[in-house]
Amino acid sequence: MINRERLCDLRKDKGLTQKEFAEILCVNYRTYGGYEREENEASDEIKIKIAKYFNVTTDYLLGISDYPQPLSDGNEYIRLPYALSSGKRKELNEFIKYLLAKK
């Protein structure tokens, strides 16, 4: 079931009414209102449309994850609040490799 608070917040952040967003999704506005009240279960197709429209993951939409953007394949950088010495950087890289190997 779609997380009602997240769905409502995402829609309002875009400045859309329930009726306007229902039209975007090509569903009846009462049906859409049921999604926000958790009275209607959206089909997987609708969940995917909503996630794509708001550029969030379906896991975020369902309340499974607190991260709205998808995690990448490991090619992104992790930004730290301060610079690491070369020794600490090597230690961190080894730890990350260890964690990835356990998958």
Compute the CA torsion angle 3, 29, 10, 53 (nearest 10 deg).
Answer: 100
Separation of alpha carbons 16 and 14, rounded Å: 6
Confidence band for 17, pLDDT divided at 50, 70 and 90 = very high
**pTM for this entry:** 0.68
Q: Which domains does the chain have, with CATH numbers?
A: 4-62 (1.10.260.40)
Model pLDDT for residues 76-93, shown as the tens digit of each residue: 556 666 777 888 888 888
Model pLDDT for residues 38-77, shown as the tens digit of each residue: 999 999 999 999 999 999 999 999 999 888 886 555 555 5
Q: Among 5, 38, 10, 3, which residue's Cα sits nearest to residue 24?
A: 10
Q: Which residue has the higher pLDDT, 101 or 40?
A: 40
